[in-house]
Amino acid sequence: MHKGLGFTVEQELALARAIVPGGVIEPVVVYRGRVYPLGAWGYSSVREVMLEYAPDDFEELARLVSRSDKGLPLGGVRLVSPVDRPQHVVLVGLNYRGHASELGVEPPEVPDLFVKNYNAIVGPGDPIILHGEGLKVDVEAELAVVIGLPGRDMGLEEASEAIWGYTCLNDVSGRLEQLESGVSQWWKGKSRDTYAPLGPVIVPRSLLDPGLGLRVVLRLNGVLMQDGDTRDLIHGPVELVEYASRGIFLEPGDVIATGTPPGVGHARNPPRYIRPGDVVEVCVSRVGCIVNPVVADY
């Protein structure tokens, strides 16, 4: 457990990015509690690794580098967001039955997609910045897909193969802009800088099956706020990738989040929005946790 660094990792095998000795950010293999930088192996990005190694074959790379390199202790590195500047960061509204129920609305028949800018992405331990008073900023725990193979107009089988792995995402949301400003500003309310903490690692899809149930939770200052199960998803990860790809070319490194379970601050009575000094922890079972402090720039 490495919460002091802003993360925990549950899997023995994962792909990530880290600040390695010398201050350089490199793709790394997380394997059996150690971190193996991949720069010396010719890899400059997570995308390159995903294109060369399918999820089922990724452990081959882990074994290769671990035989040649002592690696670094997991607790001695700084992990950053596992993807950098994705072309698409796609999210879906009302995709848990429990979340739709707490808001008193009917679940959508098709995925209700929206996007964030890549500038919203930050990594473990990075601050969530409140950009002004009264914005009613909320946080949402989500399981996110990371695309490993490019494609457009995918069928379900292609969409399944396009998923390289899974990570955690915190959908930080300015409810004033999104819902109460008089004009629905989902893009503005969701895309401010730092509004998408992502990480800590990407776990290969061969090691996870959301259909069998992954626990998705959010803790605020250590208090459990959201506690869901991916078996409550309305549209599963493969269906979301298939739908998102219709007429849109998805690329390796793109992120597609799968929605949030019930317990969001906006739906509480009274509402609970984040404040400077808060600490937010988003966890997905068998992936890990990303922890981010909340600060203000006003």
Q: Which domains does the chain have, with CATH numbers?
A: 3-80 (no CATH), 89-296 (3.90.850.10)
pTM of the model: 0.96
Q: What pLDDT does 100 receive?
A: 77
The span from the CA of 236 to the CA of 40, in Å, is 37
Q: Which of 22-36, 38-52, 101-115, 212-226 has the lowest mean pLDDT?
A: 101-115
Mean per-residue pLDDT, 232-241: 97
Q: What does the pLDDT look like over 115-131, one tens digit per residue?
A: 999 999 999 999 999 99
Q: What does the pLDDT look like over 6-15, one tens digit per residue?
A: 999 999 999 9
**CA 240 from centre of chain:** 15
The span from the CA of 131 to the CA of 88, in Å, is 23
Average pLDDT, the chain: 95
CA 120, 170, 139, 75 dihedral sign is negative
CB of 199 closer than 8 Å to CB of 124: yes
pLDDT for 243 beyond 80: yes
Q: What pLDDT does 1 receive?
A: 45
